[in-house]
Structure formats: C-alpha cells, structure tokens
C-alpha cells in the first residue's frame, strides 16, 4: 500500500473558497420563488397560550402566511428520538415549556417583511409557574427509565462500593458544578424547504443528512426516498446541528402549505434557546484510595437539567466507569426538569462535564496523598476496560503521560500550591486524562476513477469545519495510489451513498473506512482489468504482483512495466470505473476508545484575579492521524473551546423566569485570539486496526475532554484555591 495522502499536512481543500467568500453555505441557497420565514418566540417560560392574534401580521406587507398551533398541523408521527430533539411536535398544542419556544411561523416575500410581521403577532399567555433553574429543580430530580435518549445505564454498581469506602484509608469527597453552556457556532441553523408534489427537498444545516432524512420522512409520513436532504458546508455546529429541531419541520410545513420554497435563518437569540445547549450539572464524587494511591472505589452522582419535553441525561459518569482501574464503583444519573429549551449533545457531551468532576477529584486525591498527579494516574491505569473486562483495541495512554510530562516540563511543578510567583502573577501547572468511547456507524461511499485520471469520492457525510473533505480525499488517494490533487469529493446530499453523521467523533473512523473500502475496490477492479487485458503491459500478471503509485499501475518486480489508470480506462472505455465501499461495524472483542493527556500552565493576576492559560500541551492518541495540519487545527480549536468552558462560558438565567439573561454573543463569551497562549498538540499517531480498517479514530471530541479539569487543577496549584464550579471567573477566585 502506498503512503500517499494519509498523514500529509494538506491545506483543507475548501480553504480558498471559504476565505474568499466563494464557499456556499445553506443560507446562500436561493430557489426560484423562495419566501422567507421568521419564527415567533414565546416570551414566558411556562404556561399556555391564552390567545394568539395573527391578524396584524397577516395584513402586514409581503406576508404570505402565518401558522401556529391554531392551524392544527397534522404531523404523521413523532420521529425517533434521540435524533429528533423532543417528544412534543412543534405547534401541537397551546402549552409553553420554555421561553423562546416557537409559537408561530410567519412567511413573507422578504426576510425583513417576515421579521417585521413576526413582531406584530400578539400572544396572550396564561403564565404558569416555571421551574427556572437546575438549583430549583434539584428537589424533584429523578432517575429516568430506559428509552429514547436514556440509552446508557443510569445506575452502575461494581463490587461493594459502600464497604470499600468505609474501609478506605484515604477519602476525598466533593461536589462539582458545570454551567449551562451553548454551542455558539458562527453559522446559525438554516433550513430551506421545497416540495415537488409529495417530494420534499431540504437544504439544511445538518450534521447528519442521512439520519435526519429518516426523521423528517417520519414526521410527514413520507417514504424515505421522497425526502432529500442537502447540506453543502457547515459554518460550525459543535452539536447544535446533530438533531432535527422544530424549525426544520415548521419550514417544511409552511412550504407545503404555501406551495413554494421557504427559508428560515434562525436568529442568534434563537440559537441560544431552540437548538439545544449543554445542561448544567451538579456532580458529587467520592473516592476511596489506599495510601499508595491505588483507587479502591469511586462513587459518582450526577444530576443535569432537562426540559419538560425531553428526558436527556448527560453521561457524565462514564468518566468514572471507564477511565481508571477501580474495583468498586457506584454511579447514578438523575434528571431534573426545568423550563428551559431542550438540552442536546454539545462539543463533548457527557465526558466534557464528567471529566471535569472526575479529573478534579483525582487532583484533590493527589494533593491529599502528597502524590504526583501524573504518577497517581499511572498507578491506576486501566489495562483492560474496567467495567467489561475486555481488552482495548489500542491504547497508548501511558505514552501520552510520558511524552506530555516530558515535553511540558512537568517536573518543574511545585507540589505546594501557591508557591510559584512572577511579579503579580501566580503560576500553576495542572493536568488531566482524556478518554472517549470511539463510536462506529455504518457508512457507504463510492470512488470513481475516470478516464482522465481524475477521481471522485461520493458519500453522504458532511464537513462541519473539521477538515473531513480533505481527509476523505487523502484516504481515497492513499488507497488508490494517486496524488490527492487528482481527487475531488462530493458530500452532504442524501442522493449520495449513505455516509456517516459528523458528530460523536464518528466521521474519520467510520466514513474514512467506507471511503477506503471503496477506493480499494476501485483499485482492485482496475488491477483486474489490467492483468486481464491483452492490450495492457500488465497483462497476465497476478493481481498482487501489481502496485499503483501516482496514478500508474506497475509490476512490482519491474516498475518500468506499467500504465496509468487513465490509459487503462480509456482503452477499455470504462468511464468511470466505480468502487463501492460499505463499512459496517461488527461486534468487537475489543473496547475502542481514544485517549489523551492535557497539561496546562496558568498565570493568575494575584489582585484581579484573572486566569490566563499561557501554555497548554495535549498529547492525543486517536489512532493514525489522517492530516496533521487539519488535526492540529481541530485539536487546538477543541482546546480553545474548552478553555472557554473553564474560564468564561455560561448562559446565565434569570432566577425567577429561567430565561436566558443575555442570549447574544455580546455577553456569551468564547475566547478570542488575545486570550490564547501557546497551544501545542502532539499525536501518538499509531494506527488502531482493531478499531476499523483505516486505523484512524475520532479526534473531534477527545482533544477537548479534560481541558477544563486541567485548568482548574492548575488554578489550584497556582493559588491553593479549589474552584469546583465552572466557569472559573475572577468573582469566584476573589
């Protein structure tokens, strides 16, 4: 197999289009006769609509239609959760479950007319008494029954946790809180819907066109092949586009009623309230250990908020279940309903907030024991999966620790907190482990070799900004033995072979495997064609006696003997030669995960006390790296996002109504360039072929997991103050 393509630091193929403005996003779609929609939001967070007066809106200039629950939309069925966000279909009744809930959709000839008319819709409410915050919801927290979103064990017991705790010579116990945070992608969610008879085409900002097509089909009672979803490029998603949300269905509904294409661009404010968020969590952890640091037991109790129209637990406790070798364990997840929008997958669902709690607790234990935090983690390394006992498909976590500690200069850390200073700055080092389950999904792709030597990859996955277009090209180029610049790719359309979703770090491994299989199929077919073709210089050779490089097939024993794909196919009049790839993950004897270690240096202005992450190093074990440039970029972005989670991100709520206080980027802060110090990323870069044929695993999430804990641990090292609530603001440190 040639080494062309994989791992090369290629610039992403769509980079030029993106920076010159040539790139076409979903909001750039303009269809003939297209109308524009605006969604009207509920002003109250609980209760019901007493009346909805749409007469002024209907009479406003340019308005084509106004729809609400009064029009009794007939949904065929509620699509399958989890990838439809809620149990309630939009407009199905007059109930209000959260502020910002869609209560009407206004369609007009221009965007401005729609926005104007939306402001004329008059709602009167019978306001209920909201459960405004997680804090207020906690007393009614409950353990959810399995089903829908609740697709992992809500309670896990291993060994005899209570006895083990009682018998532990060293114990630490603490409560950690993470904040309500929001995806805040640059591109808001957008849907354009158009019907032709009973065939629906949706241009939708979707992280999973194939999955979403099925959900939309269910909602409208259509066969799947009557629905087409198209998603050209995504301007950031971070989980906000993993699910089908109400606006997508409402726009399709309006388009059907009006008999013309309709587009909606969700407002920035609606991005904060109607396309999910990461729910706040309260997590209690207790650890019992031997004096030498070996863990005897962990208990991890976690409660997160959910809405009144969805039960969605955050799998925070998996961190405790699956990271360290601990013989006794008890975990429990509870839900607490509040009147806020429905939570969803965000950045690193579960392990993001979960690793914050666990990895801080481990730091507390290290401090209690006077142990080195890296050493403590090494000592508790899980050689096999601690719950299932299965072997790992590939795990180089010890190497991550070793490389990380060395490159970071971890030995310079002073164990006594608050001892390192420089001028006004307190200096601290912190670290944390990262671990993420590697998910697999079935995926298909075709790879066409054309008579001009060009190659086309077709697969219905999508690029959400992580470089997927480029890495898939590299995978195909590598397997075919052609230069990557000969390969083009088409994604984001359900008319293509069904690809993998771009969430849950699935794309590289699963879709990459499908592309690789397709390319291998095409390559094999070309070789068969050549060795069986009297006109080919390779005629008569055994298939495995032929190799391909730079688009040229040649005899391994005599490289001068050969011909290019282009010549072969032209002579045989095969255009294109198509390879098919179908990856279906099989039951595995292995547990597959990605791993990493984060090391961070903070400096804290003693008086103000603002935390700055001046230096961060991540060592990541995600199998083979497909493109070192896009991978580094992805990892740095993930780390920066998590520094935001650690230090500034919080969508604050009104304590009485529960409404978001400042649902705008003016006050919902993510880090800017000036906040970010040096960020180094090192990849272990060893293929994990037990995981999938490609040997590559997901990177999207592993790079973020543990960062907030590393920062909090560094803050402790710098100051001696243990901040257990995110974000770590100056107010909390004062």
Partner 1 sequence: MDFIRPTSLAEALRAKAEVPEAVPIAGGTDVMVELNFDRRRPPALLDLNAVGEIAKWSEVDGRIRLGAAVPYVRVIDELGDRLPGLAMAARTVGSPQIRNRGTVGGNLAAASPAGDSHPPLLASDAVVEVASVRGTRTIPITEFYLGVKRSALEPDELITAVLLPPADGPQQFSKVGTRNAMVIAVCSFAVALHPASGTVGTGLGSAAPTPRRAPEAEDYIAGELSALWQSPAPLADSVLRRFGELVGAAAQPIDDVRGSAAYRRHALAVLARRTLGWAWHDYCEGRVTACA
Active-site residue list: 701
- Which CB atom, from 30 or from 672, has the smaller least distance to partner 1? 672
Provide the minimum distance between the beta carbon of 734 and partner 1 in the complex, in angstroms, as a whole number: 6
* Joined tokens for residue 329: 């364990």
Place of tokens 């001028």: 423
- Which CB atom, from 560 or from 731, has the smaller least distance to partner 1? 731
Distance CA 489, CA 501 (A): 16
- Which CB atom, from 257 or from 669, has the smaller least distance to partner 1? 669
Torsions phi, psi for 268 (to 5 deg)? -60, -40
Pairing of strands 63-68, 102-108: antiparallel
Q: Look at the alpha carbons of 636, 642, 648, 654 in this order and tell me if their dihedral is positive or negative.
A: positive
Pairing of strands 295-306, 281-289: antiparallel
Q: 203: helix, coil or strand?
A: strand
Residue from 280, 187, 202, 281 nearest 240 by CA: 187
- Which CB atom, from 18 or from 269, has the smaller least distance to partner 1? 269
Contact (Cβ atoms closer than 8 angstroms) between residue 619 and residue 679: no
Provide the minimum distance between the beta carbon of 421 and partner 1 in the complex, in angstroms, as a whole number: 16
- Which CB atom, from 399 or from 725, has the smaller least distance to partner 1? 725
Output b/e per residue, 40-79; b: 16+ Cβ within 10 A. Answer: bbbebbbbebeebebeebeebeebbbbbbbebebebeeeb
- Which CB atom, from 384 or from 664, has the smaller least distance to partner 1? 664
- Residue 80's Cα: distance from chain center in Å? 20
- Which CB atom, from 409 or from 655, has the smaller least distance to partner 1? 655
CA angle 23/24/25 to nearest 5° reads 115
Distance CA 659, CA 420 (A): 42
Provide the minimum distance between the beta carbon of 594 and partner 1 in the complex, in angstroms, as a whole number: 30
Distance CA 71, CA 90 (A): 12
- Residue 591's Cα: distance from chain center in Å? 20
Distance CA 247, CA 275 (A): 9
Torsions phi, psi for 136 (to 5 deg)? -75, -25
- Which CB atom, from 544 or from 607, has the smaller least distance to partner 1? 607
Provide the minimum distance between the beta carbon of 35 and partner 1 in the complex, in angstroms, as a whole number: 21
Provide the minimum distance between the beta carbon of 1 and partner 1 in the complex, in angstroms, as a whole number: 47
- Which CB atom, from 587 or from 607, has the smaller least distance to partner 1? 607
Check residue 639 and report its DSSP letter.
H
Distance CA 434, CA 436 (A): 7
Q: 412: helix, coil or strand?
A: helix
- Which CB atom, from 224 or from 654, has the smaller least distance to partner 1? 654
Distance CA 671, CA 658 (A): 25
For every residue of 691-720, DSSP letters joined together read T-TT-B---TTTTTTTHHHHHHHHHHHHHS
- Whether the bond between 727 and the residue before it is cis, its omega within 30 degrees of 0, is yes
- Which CB atom, from 487 or from 728, has the smaller least distance to partner 1? 728
Residue from 84, 87, 95 nearest 128 by CA: 95
Q: Which residues have C-beta within 8 Å of that of residue 66, sequence separation ≥ 6?
A: 54, 57, 58, 104, 105, 106, 107, 117, 121
- Residue 498's Cα: distance from chain center in Å? 19
Distance CA 49, CA 91 (A): 11
Provide the minimum distance between the beta carbon of 268 and partner 1 in the complex, in angstroms, as a whole number: 9
What is the chain's percent helix, strand, coil content, to nearest 5?
A: 30, 25, 45
For every residue of 37-68, DSSP letters joined together read EEEEE-SSSSEEEEEEE-HHHHHSTTEEEEEE
Provide the minimum distance between the beta carbon of 650 and partner 1 in the complex, in angstroms, as a whole number: 9
Provide the minimum distance between the beta carbon of 250 and partner 1 in the complex, in angstroms, as a whole number: 22
Interface residues with partner 1 (CB under 8 A) are 119, 607-608, 610, 648, 652, 661-662, 664, 666-667, 669, 671-675, 729-731, 734
Check residue 138 and report its DSSP letter.
G
Distance CA 217, CA 215 (A): 5
Contact (Cβ atoms closer than 8 angstroms) between residue 513 and residue 443: yes
Distance CA 684, CA 55 (A): 63
- Which CB atom, from 589 or from 666, has the smaller least distance to partner 1? 666
Query: Torsion angle of alpha carbons 453, 459, 463, 468, nearest 10°?
Result: -60
Provide the minimum distance between the beta carbon of 432 and partner 1 in the complex, in angstroms, as a whole number: 23
Provide the minimum distance between the beta carbon of 667 and partner 1 in the complex, in angstroms, as a whole number: 5
For residue 498, the cross-strand partners are: 460
E strand or H helix that includes residue 336: strand 328-337
């Amino acid at each position: 197999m040639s080494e062309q393509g994989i791992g090369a630091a290629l610039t992403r193929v769509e980079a030029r289009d993106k920076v010159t403005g040539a790139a076409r996003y979903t909001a750039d779609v303009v269809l003939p006769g297209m109308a524009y929609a605006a969604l009207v939001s509920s002003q109250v967070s609980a209760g019901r609509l007493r009346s909805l007066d749409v007469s002024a809106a209907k009479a406003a200039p340019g308005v084509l239609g106004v729809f609400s629950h009064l029009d009794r939309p007939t949904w065929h069925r509620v699509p399958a959760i989890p990838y439809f966000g809620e149990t309630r279909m939009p407009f199905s009744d007059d109930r209000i479950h959260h502020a910002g809930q869609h209560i009407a959709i206004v369609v007009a000839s221009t965007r401005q007319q729609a926005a104007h008319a939306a402001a004329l819709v008059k709602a009167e409410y019978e306001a209920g008494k909201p459960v405004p915050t997680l804090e207020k919801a906690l007393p009614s927290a409950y353990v959810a029954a399995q089903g829908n979103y609740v697709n992992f064990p809500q309670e896990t017991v291993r060994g005899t946790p209570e006895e083990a705790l009682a018998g532990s010579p060293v114990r630490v116990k603490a409560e950690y809180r993470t904040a309500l945070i929001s995806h805040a992608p640059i591109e808001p969610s957008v849907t354009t819907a158009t019907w032709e008879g009973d065939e629906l085409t949706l241009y939708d900002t979707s992280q999973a066109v194939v999955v979403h097509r099925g959900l939309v089909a269910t909602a409208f009672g259509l066969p799947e092949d009557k629905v087409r979803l198209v998603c050209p490029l995504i301007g950031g998603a971070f989980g906000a586009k993993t699910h089908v949300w109400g606006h997508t269905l409402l726009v399709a509904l309006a388009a059907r009623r009006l008999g013309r294409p309709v587009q909606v661009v969700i407002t920035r404010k609606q991005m904060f309230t109607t396309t999910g968020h990461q729910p706040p969590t309260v997590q209690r952890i207790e650890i019992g250990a031997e004096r030498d640091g070996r863990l005897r037991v962990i208990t991890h109790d976690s409660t997160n908020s959910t809405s009144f129209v969805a039960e969605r637990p955050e799998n925070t406790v998996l961190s405790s279940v699956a990271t360290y070798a601990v013989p006794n364990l008890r975990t429990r997840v509870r839900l607490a309903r509040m009147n806020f929008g429905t939570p969803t997958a965000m950045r690193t669902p579960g392990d993001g907030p979960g690793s914050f709690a666990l990895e801080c607790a481990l730091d507390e234990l290290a401090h209690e024991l006077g142990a080195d935090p890296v050493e403590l983690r090494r000592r508790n390394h899980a050689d096999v999966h601690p719950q299932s006992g299965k072997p790992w498909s590939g795990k180089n976590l010890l190497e991550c620790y070793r490389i990380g500690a060395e490159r970071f200069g971890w030995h310079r850390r002073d164990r006594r907190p608050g001892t390192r200073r420089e001028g006004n700055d307190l200096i601290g080092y912190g670290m944390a482990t990262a671990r993420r389950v590697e998910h697999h999904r079935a995926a298909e792709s075709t790879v066409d070799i054309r008579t001009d030597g060009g190659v086309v990859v077709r697969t219905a996955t999508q690029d959400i900004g992580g470089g997927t277009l480029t890495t898939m090209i590299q995978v195909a180029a590598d397997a075919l033995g052609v230069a990557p610049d000969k390969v083009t790719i088409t994604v984001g359309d359900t008319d293509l072979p069904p690809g993998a979703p771009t969430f849950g770090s699935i794309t590289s491994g699963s879709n990459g495997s499908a592309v690789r299989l397709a390319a291998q199929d095409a390559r094999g077919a070309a070789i068969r064609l050549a060795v069986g073709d009297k006109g080919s210089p390779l005629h008569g050779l055994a298939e495995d006696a032929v190799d391909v490089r730079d688009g040229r097939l040649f005899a391994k024993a005599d490289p001068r003997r050969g011909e290019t794909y282009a010549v072969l196919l032209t002579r045989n009049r095969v255009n294109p030669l198509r390879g098919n790839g179908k990856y279906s993950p099989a039951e595995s004897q292995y547990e597959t995960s990605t791993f990493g270690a984060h090391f961070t240096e903070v400096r804290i202005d003693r008086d103000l006390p603002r935390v700055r992450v001046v230096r961060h190093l991540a060592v990541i074990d995600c199998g083979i790296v497909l493109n070192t440039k896009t991978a580094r970029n992805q990892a740095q972005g993930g780390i920066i996002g998590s520094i935001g989670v650690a230090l500034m991100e919080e969508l604050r709520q009104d304590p009485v109504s529960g409404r978001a206080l400042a649902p705008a980027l003016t006050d919902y802060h993510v880090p800017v360039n000036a906040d970010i110090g040096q960020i180094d990323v090192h990849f272990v870069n060893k293929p994990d072929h037990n995981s999938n044929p490609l040997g590559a695993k997901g990177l999207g999430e592993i790079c973020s997991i543990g960062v907030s804990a590393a920062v909090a641990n560094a803050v402790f090292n710098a100051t001696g103050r243990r901040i257990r609530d995110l974000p770590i603001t100056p107010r909390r440190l004062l």
